[in-house]
Structure 1
C-alpha cells in the first residue's frame, strides 16, 4: 500500500483550520505514518463551541423535515465516495476491505434512517385537570452536543451520532479518536460539499485528555455522546458533573457466549468464530468469553480450533479474514492478557503471537488465538480483551453461566445457544445485559437499540430510542381562558 503522507485540517465554522502542532496517523498494517492532523488548541475548541452555539439558534427552528433533507443531501454527496472511504478505512483502521465497504454502507443507512425519522418525532398531549386547558409534553433538542468516537468504526460512529443529533435539532462537534482522525476530516469535506450550514457540524482533532475534556467540561455543551471504554465513560461522568451535562455513554463489556448442552454445536461454532474475530475482535459486543457446557466442551473446542486455524491474516486490502489491531498499545495489552492467562494454567490451543513472515514484521499483527482450560478468575476471563483472543471456560450448568455473566459490573451483551424455550425466556429475564443474542451471531440492526446495563453505559444508539436520546422533554400547560 502507498504510504504517501498528507496533512489534514480541522473543520470549524465552515472553515479549514490548522494548528502549530500536529498528530501523526499510522497505518496499523505497516506502522508507517501516512497522514497528520492538527493537535488543536483549547482556543480552537472554544471556537468550535461558539460556532455550534451560534448555528443552533437557526438550525433548531428549521422544520424537522428540512433538517432531514439536509441529511439526505449529505447521503447523496457520500454515495459516489464509497471506494474512497472504504480504502481509507482499511489504511487508517486496519479492517478488511469487505468490512470497510460494510462500514460505509452502514453509515449511509444510519444517516438515511435519521432523515426519514423527521416526520415521526413525537410528543404527547394529556388531559388537563382544568377546563379550557391542554397539557403538552414536547420533545426539544438539547443544544450543542459533542460526539466522541472510538477507533473501531471511525465513519459509522459519526453517522450513528450525527444523524440523530441533527434531525432532532441539535448541532454537533465531532472529536474522533487520536488513532483514527483522518476519516472524520474526509467526512467534513463531504459536509462542506453537501452544503450543511456552517457550525451545524464541526470536526476537531486533538487528544482526549486535553481537547476532548475541554469540550466536555464547557458550559456550552448540553449533551456528550461517547462510544468508548468504561474508563473513558467514568472520566466523562466526572467531567460533566459540575455543569450537570447530559450524557449518552456506549461503553465496553465482556460478552459471554453461552453454549448449553442442547445447542446446535456446529451453528454455535460458526457463530462464535464470526462473533469473536470480526474487525480483529475490536467490537464492543464481540463474543469475549465462551461458557460451554461440559458435555460439549471437548467437541466444541476442537471444532472452534479447527475453524480458527483456517482464518487468514494479511494485507487487509486483499480481503483476508482478519487484519491488524488498530494500535500498538492495544496489541501489547492483548498479548499481555494471553501470556498471563497461560501462566495461570490455561492451554494455548492456537495463535498467541505475532504471525511469522516479513509482511508481519511491522504493524500491529496478532494471530487468531484460542485459549482452553480457562477458569472464570483468569485474566482472559476477567478483562475485556478487545482483540482476536477467545477464552473457553467449561461450565456444569446454565445457572453457572448466568452467575458468571451477572457477577460482572458491566453488562453490554450476551450470546445464548439453546433450544429450550423455558431457558431462553428465563435468560432474557435474568441476564443483566443490554442485548441478548439468542442462537444468533453478532449483528446490529439500525432499527434496534444498542445500549448497556451497569457500567456498560447510560443511554444508547440506534432506532427510535437512539433518536429520542437526543431530545429532552418540555411540559407546556396551555390555558385558553
Structure 2
C-alpha cells in the first residue's frame, strides 16, 4: 500500500525491494502547502533499519539488472514515461500543492521529467567503450564502461519530480540501481511517482525510495560502504557536508550545488530583450532555480534605462494563488528561506542599497498565511553587499552598476560560486572572450534562462563537481574498466593456433 488515510490526510510509506513497507520508527514528517501552511500529508521518517534494507535490496538487485541488455532496461523506462504521461495533470497539481510553483510551471516540470527519462532510454545503445591499439602482438586492449553499482540520488526541493528523472533515468539505463531520497519539504510527488514504478513492474530493488531528513537519512545513505556513487542537487553547505561524509569510503560524487549567476548587460545590449530575459531568469519558480539571474551587472551608459524598464516590467508580475492561470509567481517553499531572503534585503538596505520595488512580505487576504515575498528590485547595490555576495534563491534582484566589461569579469570571477553567467552584448569579441575566461559551468550569451536535454549541466568552484544531462551526464554513471587479453595467433599454414613463446 502506497499510502493510507488517517486524521484527515494521506500517510505515505517507504518503497523498498518492490514493496510499500512501514517503518519501525513510528515517526512521521508533516508536509505543508507553502501557499497556506496547511499540512497536506505525512511521510515516513525512516530509521537506520529502513535505510539498510533499501541499500541491501539495491545491492541484491544490481548484478541481474546490469546483466540485462541496456535496451531492455530502456523498455522499462519508456513504460514509466507513458504511465507518467497518463497522469500529467495529477502530478502537476501535486507539485503546486507541495512546492508552490504555478500550475503552468508544474506542467512544465512534469514534461521535463518525461524528457529526462526519454533521453536516458534513447541512450541505451549509444554509450560505448574503446578498442585500443595494443603494445604487444597477439593482444587485445579494451576499455569497457560499467555501472558503479548501488547509487543514491539526493534531490532538492525546488524541482522534486524533475530531479528524480534527471538522476534515476541515467542511473538505471546504465545498469546501476538507485535509492532516491527526496527533500523532506517536497516528497509527495516523488512517492507517488514510485507507485508508477511499482505498477510498471520494475524488478524489486532496482529503484527504492526512503524519506526523512538529510542530516540523518541522507547521511546514512552517503556513508554506507554499499553506496558507490552519490548524485546530489542541493546547497553548497549540504554539498560540503556530503563531500566530507563520502571521504572515508572514497564514494564517487556528482554535486550540483548553488550559484550566484551574474546577469551582465553591456552598453551595446538590446535593452528591451535583456529586461525581459532578466525578469524571466529571476522570478521563474519564485527565483528558486539554481541558474537563476542572481544579480544584474549593468553598464553605466544603459543602467538608468535598463533599471526603469525592469522596474516597470516587474510591476506587471502577479503574485497569488499558483493555480490561478493569470498568476506569474507563487510562494516560497519554506519559512526558513523566507527569513533568509528578508535578512539579505535588510542587511543590504542598511549598507546603502535602495528598494526600487517590493522589499517586504505582502499582507492581507491570501497573503496572511503562507510564505510570500514581493517581487523585489534593489538598486545602488555594491559588490560587497549581502545581496551581491550571498545566494538569494528567491524573488529579489539586486542591480550593480559597472563601468566596463573588464570590471564585470573581475566581479564574476571573484565569486566563490561558478554555476552560470549571462552576458548581453552585440560584440562577438567580448562574447568569445567571456566564454574563455568566465569561471562558470554554463554561459548564456544573449539568451534567456534555458536548458537543452542533450546539453550538460554542471558547476565550477563551490558550485560543484560532476554534472548531469546529455551524453556527459550519462557517462557520469559509468566507470571505466581496462581489459588486456592475450590470444593465440591462428597459423594459416597448418590451421593451428600458436602462442608467441618469446613473451
Aligned match of 1:136 in 119, 122, 142? 142
Which residue of 2 is the match for residue 12 of structure 1? 16
Structure 1 residue 353 displacement after superposition: 1.0
Kept in 2, the 8 Å contact 1:340–1:379? The answer is: yes
Which residue of 2 is the match for residue 422 of structure 1? 429
Q: Following the alignment from structure 1 to structure 2, what is the Cα–Cα distance between the partners of residues 457 and 334?
A: 23
Paired residue secondary structure (2:180): strand
Q: Does 1:125 align with 2:121?
A: no
Aligned length: 479
Q: Does 1:173 align with 2:179?
A: yes
Output the aligned Cα RMSD. 0.8
Kept in 2, the 8 Å contact 1:461–1:467? The answer is: yes
Aligned match of 2:447 in 416, 435, 440? 440
Q: Deviation per CA, 1:259-298, whole angstroms, max 9, x where unpaired?
A: 0000000000000000000000000000001000000111
1:290-439 correspondence runs (5 A)? 290-319=296-325, 320-439=327-446
Which residue of 2 is the match for residue 54 of structure 1? 60
Which residue of 1 is the match for residue 474 of structure 2? 467
Gaps of 5+ in 2: 1-6, 489-503
Q: Following the alignment from structure 2 to structure 1, what is the Cα–Cα distance between the partners of residues 81 and 366?
A: 37
Q: Deviation per CA, 1:87-114, whole angstroms, max 9, x where unpaired?
A: 0000000000000000000000000000
Paired residue secondary structure (1:451): coil
Gaps of 5+ in 1: none
Q: Following the alignment from structure 1 to structure 2, what is the Cα–Cα distance between the partners of residues 318 and 16?
A: 35
Aligned match of 1:186 in 185, 192, 201? 192
Paired residue secondary structure (1:329): helix
Structure 1 residue 356 displacement after superposition: 2.9
Q: Following the alignment from structure 1 to structure 2, what is the Cα–Cα distance between the partners of residues 418 and 478?
A: 55
Q: Does 1:101 align with 2:110?
A: no
Structure 1 residue 410 displacement after superposition: 1.4
Q: Following the alignment from structure 2 to structure 1, what is the Cα–Cα distance between the partners of residues 485 and 75?
A: 31
Q: Following the alignment from structure 1 to structure 2, what is the Cα–Cα distance between the partners of residues 332 and 194?
A: 42
Q: Deviation per CA, 1:214-262, whole angstroms, max 9, x where unpaired?
A: 0100000000000001111100110010000000000011000000000
| Higher-Rg member (1/2) | 2
Q: Following the alignment from structure 2 to structure 1, what is the Cα–Cα distance between the partners of residues 202 and 79?
A: 9
Structure 1 residue 18 displacement after superposition: 2.3
1:450-465 correspondence runs (5 A)? 450-465=457-472
Q: Deviation per CA, 1:52-84, whole angstroms, max 9, x where unpaired?
A: 000101001101111111101111111110010
Which residue of 2 is the match for residue 276 of structure 1? 282
Q: Does 1:262 align with 2:268?
A: yes
Paired residue secondary structure (1:317): coil
Paired residue secondary structure (1:270): helix
Q: Following the alignment from structure 2 to structure 1, what is the Cα–Cα distance between the partners of residues 8 and 34?
A: 15
Paired residue secondary structure (2:124): helix
Q: Following the alignment from structure 1 to structure 2, what is the Cα–Cα distance between the partners of residues 53 and 449?
A: 29
TM-score (norm 1): 0.99
Kept in 2, the 8 Å contact 1:147–1:226? The answer is: yes
Q: Does 1:233 align with 2:234?
A: no
Structure 1 residue 458 displacement after superposition: 0.6
Q: Deviation per CA, 1:130-184, whole angstroms, max 9, x where unpaired?
A: 1121110000000000000000000000000000000000000000001001111
Aligned match of 1:245 in 251, 257, 281? 251
Following TM superposition, where does structure 1 have runs of at least 4 consecutive aligned residues deviating by more than 4 angstroms? none
Kept in 2, the 8 Å contact 1:26–1:35? The answer is: yes
Structure 1 residue 4 displacement after superposition: 5.5
Paired residue secondary structure (1:120): coil
TM-score (norm 2): 0.95
Q: Following the alignment from structure 1 to structure 2, what is the Cα–Cα distance between the partners of residues 153 and 388?
A: 17
Kept in 2, the 8 Å contact 1:18–1:40? The answer is: no
Which residue of 2 is the match for residue 116 of structure 1? 122
Paired residue secondary structure (2:323): helix
Q: Deviation per CA, 1:438-464, whole angstroms, max 9, x where unpaired?
A: 000101111010000011111001000
Which residue of 1 is the match for residue 291 of structure 2? 285
Q: Deviation per CA, 1:186-222, whole angstroms, max 9, x where unpaired?
A: 0110000111111100000001111110010000000
